[in-house]
Amino acid sequence: MPGLADAARGRILFGGDYNPEQWPEETWHEDVRLMKDARVNSVTVGVFSWSKLEPEPGAREFGWLDRLMDLLHDHGIGVVLATPTSAPPPWLGRLHPDTLPRTEDGRTEWWGGRQHFSHSSATYRRCAAAITEDLAARYGGHPALTMWHINNEYCTADYGDEAAAAFRRWLRRRYGTLDALNTAWGTAFWSQGYDTWDGILPPRLAHYLRNPAQVLDFRRFTSDMLLECYTAERDIVRRHTPHIPVTTNFMPLWFGQDAWRWAGEEDVVSVDLYPDPRDPLGAQSGALVQDMTRSQARGPWMLMEQAAGPVNWRGVNHPKPRGLNRLWSLQAVARGADAVCYFQWRQSRQGAEKFHSGMVGHAGERGRTFQEVKELGADLARIAPHVTGRHSRAGIAVLHDWHAWWAAAQEARPSREVDHADVLRAWHRALWQAHLTTDFAHPEHDLSAYRLVVVPQLYLLTDAAIENLLGWVRRGGTLVCGFLTGVADEDDRVRPGGMDARLRELFGIRTLHEWWPLEPGQTVDCEGFAGTLWSEELEADGAADETVPYRGGELDGLPAVLRRGRAWYLSTLPEPEALRDLLARIAAGAGVRPELDGLPAQVEAVRRGDLLFLLNHGREPVTVAVPGTHRDLLTETAVTDRITLGRYGVAVLRP
Ligand code: GLA
């Protein structure tokens, strides 16, 4: 299978989405001049070009794209060519209303924006396949083509009739019989027993709470349908160009796609990433997505889109202060990115994203944004020969599973305050603040490469996943689990005892009497720290080797934290510093230490192959002890024993 290396060819891909159809052709020449100036070597073309390529049903307007591809090739700029299928032209919806998705309350999502397509519509799929086929036939042999980019940020649901029929087919494949479906969905509750497949609907607007197993399956179905759309187009381009890698861009920690499964269908795993420049934890939220993407890619990955300056979709949209774009771009490279790209090359003057930054902003080539983009292009070119293709592996795996997230994100739970993604972020942040780099893994993955496995929260665990965790601990692994883990099976059926019996035994829990969720802002005293969000009335079985009790209140004296051998269970979310310190201690016990001792809080040290990236996320200069002699690849100077990093400064040290 081709991969990112085939497109990058020893370089770090640098560039962005390029939408030249928004500009007169004279501007294209200006564009390539500036691209060369900034060392841009890759642009993604055609993402939203469907109505330009097919202005009326069946027509083909390839002339402009021919000229563009030639122009880019003449200037040595590679093309990631997109299939334009995320933004169908108005004629498709007008002539074929069946291609338009319906919301859960039956409203139509009309054209006039983007992503107004139903994943289940046979007409949409036929038209998407036709334009994909013709693009692949026409440009498959073009020398500028380096990669295929299918659709864009797949993220839509559909509750309409065609989707309902597809849902029934999907359910038939999953369950075989109505009996099995009725059992899995627990339809004895509230008189929901189905006597015919035709009676089953997507979980549309209902008077009161919907069946959670139905909702869970609908989320699984939606992810699978979108995946079918992706693989259908992928297979077309692959047939024409088996040697050209294929990708589709994920949104960061996006709820709607089982990205483990999707990543397995991609040649290149790519992601879009937009931390808020004003967020003091922006660097950590970026790191989480980067760690997740690297783990999905199992090697180098592509930062498909980021913003050179402000986005336009937050309440208040802040630009990036000087140096932050470079810092966060190199943070991605440190974490395995071999491509650093943006949305978009040139900031639009019209349309819904005209206040979203581009690499070339409204201020043009003299603007600070473009000047910094140019500097970054030079930095990336300098380090590329030493960096590309190298993989960084962490000693810690954080487990994440979309099915557990989907099952947990339902109505009528013990607490609305508990959000799977927030809990995941809190645990990753604790590890990040302890200077520990982590991989992510699926709970059924082979974990043998790790020393410590961390489960922030997996409400739903399959039997296979539970056996995997038990086997991991039996074979000498250290495991730390957060609350609300192992509660439900894969049908969202609560396991007897409220938590899987095998896991209870593993941690030394005899009885889980009650969950005691906390109010927003409320804390619960534990010995040595405060717990947040949640607490549990647990009875230990006497086999625990270590417990940290709750202090005061209803749970006084009961265990907040239990350890039995190498298995830890946390029945609350310790406040951030306490979680950081506890995880650092457990990691050290498992033989996992930060890359450097004594790192200042705002400095991140990440290893990629034999390179050590040092990233100063602070606005103040800082001196870092780096014992020994190294070469900083960015400044091409020798570094002995210590290095000073300026505001947002970065060093890439080679032994
Ligand atoms: C994503 C999309 C782009 C654009 C940007 C805006 O990256 O793929 O088309 O909408 O968001 O931030």
pLDDT band at residue 16 under the 50/70/90 scheme: very high
The pLDDT mean for the chain works out to 98
Q: Would the CB of 406 count as within 6 Å of ligand 1?
A: no
Indicate whether 574 and 645 sit together in one domain: no
pLDDT digits (tens, 9 = 90+) for 599-623: 999 999 999 999 999 999 999 999 9
Q: Would the CB of 149 count as within 6 Å of ligand 1?
A: no
Indicate whether 561 and 626 sit together in one domain: no
Q: Would the CB of 16 count as within 6 Å of ligand 1?
A: no
Which residue minimizes the CA distance to atom 9 of ligand 1?
A: 343
Question: Looking at the domain assignment, is residue 387 inside a domain?
Answer: no
**Distance (Å, whole) CA 425 – CA 467:** 26
Average pLDDT over residues 142-150: 98
Residues 6+ apart with CB under 8 A from 126: none
Residues 6+ apart with CB under 8 A from 175: 181, 184
Known catalytic residue at 514: no
pLDDT band at residue 115 under the 50/70/90 scheme: very high
Q: Would the CB of 152 count as within 6 Å of ligand 1?
A: yes
Q: Would the CB of 568 count as within 6 Å of ligand 1?
A: no
Question: Looking at the domain assignment, is residue 270 inside a domain?
Answer: no
Given the residues 162, 305, 490, 604, select the one marked as catalytic. Answer: 305
Of 353, 354, 355, 359, the one to substitute when testing ligand 1's pocket (max ligand atoms within 8 A of C-beta) is 353
Question: Looking at the domain assignment, is residue 185 inside a domain?
Answer: no
* Cα-based distances in Å from 640 to 330, 395, 654: 22, 27, 12
Question: Looking at the domain assignment, is residue 568 inside a domain?
Answer: yes
Q: Is the pLDDT of residue 32 over 90?
A: yes
Q: Which of 562, 589, 616 is the last residue of a domain?
A: 589
**Distance (Å, whole) CA 390 – CA 383:** 12
Question: Looking at the domain assignment, is residue 57 inside a domain?
Answer: no
Question: 356 alpha carbon to ligand 1 midpoint, in Å?
Answer: 9
Q: Would the CB of 490 count as within 6 Å of ligand 1?
A: no
Contact 524, 572 (CB under 8 A): yes
Helix or strand run (H / E) with residue 238: helix 212-240
Q: Is 254 exposed, middle or buried (0-12, 13-18, 19+ CB in 10 A)?
A: middle
Question: 572 alpha carbon to ligand 1 midpoint, in Å?
Answer: 37
CATH of the domain at 646: 2.60.40.1180
Closest CA to 462 of 433, 486, 437, 435: 486
DSSP string, 59-108: ----HHHHHHHHHHHHTT-EEEEEP-TTS--HHHHHH-GGGS-B-TTS-B
Given the residues 109, 153, 372, 536, select the one marked as catalytic. Answer: 153
Indicate whether 537 and 642 sit together in one domain: no
Which residue minimizes the CA distance to atom 3 of ligand 1?
A: 343
**Distance (Å, whole) CA 573 – CA 560:** 9
Average pLDDT over residues 293-309: 97
Cβ neighbour number for residue 257 with a 10 Å cutoff:
23
Indicate whether 534 and 460 sit together in one domain: yes
Indicate whether 502 and 612 sit together in one domain: no
Indicate whether 572 and 626 sit together in one domain: no
The confidence score (pLDDT) of residue 539 equals: 96
Question: 343 alpha carbon to ligand 1 midpoint, in Å?
Answer: 6
Question: 353 alpha carbon to ligand 1 midpoint, in Å?
Answer: 9
Question: 301 alpha carbon to ligand 1 midpoint, in Å?
Answer: 18
Ligand 1 nearest-atom number relative to CA 304: 7
pLDDT band at residue 156 under the 50/70/90 scheme: very high
Question: Looking at the domain assignment, is residue 510 inside a domain?
Answer: yes
Indicate whether 572 and 521 sit together in one domain: yes
Question: 439 alpha carbon to ligand 1 midpoint, in Å?
Answer: 26
Structural domain including 515 reads 396-589
Known catalytic residue at 153: yes
Ligand 1 nearest-atom number relative to CA 305: 7
Indicate whether 627 and 551 sit together in one domain: no
In this structure, are strands 337-342 and 650-654 parallel, antiparallel, or unpaired?
unpaired
CATH of the domain at 417: 3.40.50.880
Q: Is the pLDDT of residue 392 over 90?
A: no
Q: Would the CB of 305 count as within 6 Å of ligand 1?
A: yes
Question: 132 alpha carbon to ligand 1 midpoint, in Å?
Answer: 21
The confidence score (pLDDT) of residue 365 equals: 97
Q: Would the CB of 272 count as within 6 Å of ligand 1?
A: yes
In this structure, are strands 301-305 and 337-342 parallel, antiparallel, or unpaired?
parallel
Indicate whether 609 and 582 sit together in one domain: no
Which residue minimizes the CA distance to atom 11 of ligand 1?
A: 343
Ligand 1 nearest-atom number relative to CA 272: 7
Q: Would the CB of 500 count as within 6 Å of ligand 1?
A: no
Instruction: Give the amino acid at 194.
Output: Y
pLDDT digits (tens, 9 = 90+) for 514-556: 999 999 999 999 999 999 999 999 999 998 999 999 999 999 9
Q: Would the CB of 433 count as within 6 Å of ligand 1?
A: no
Q: Angle at the Cα of 618 (from 614 to 624), degrees rounded to 5? A: 40
In the Cβ-directed half-sphere of 439, how many Cα atoms lie within 13 Å? 29
Ligand 1 nearest-atom number relative to CA 153: 8
- The 3 state secondary structure assigned to 537-567 is EEEECCCCCEEEEECCCCCCCCEEEEEECCE
Indicate whether 427 and 531 sit together in one domain: yes
Average pLDDT over residues 250-260: 97
Q: Is the pLDDT of residue 393 over 90?
A: no
Indicate whether 574 and 613 sit together in one domain: no
Q: Is the pLDDT of residue 386 over 90?
A: yes
Question: Looking at the domain assignment, is residue 471 inside a domain?
Answer: yes
Ligand 1 nearest-atom number relative to CA 313: 12
Of 343, 344, 353, 355, the one to substitute when testing ligand 1's pocket (max ligand atoms within 8 A of C-beta) is 343
Of 17, 80, 153, the one to substitute when testing ligand 1's pocket (max ligand atoms within 8 A of C-beta) is 153
pLDDT digits (tens, 9 = 90+) for 561-586: 999 999 999 999 999 999 999 999 99
Question: Looking at the domain assignment, is residue 639 inside a domain?
Answer: yes
Q: Which of 589, 613, 639 is the last residue of a domain?
A: 589
Count how many domains the chain has. Answer: 2
* Cα-based distances in Å from 601 to 19, 171, 213, 356, 623: 41, 50, 44, 32, 12
Q: Would the CB of 356 count as within 6 Å of ligand 1?
A: yes
Q: Which of 566, 589, 612 is the last residue of a domain?
A: 589
Indicate whether 644 and 570 sit together in one domain: no
Question: 276 alpha carbon to ligand 1 midpoint, in Å?
Answer: 14
Q: Would the CB of 214 count as within 6 Å of ligand 1?
A: no
DSSP string, 124-153: HHHHHHHHHHHHHHHHTT-TTEEEEE-SSS
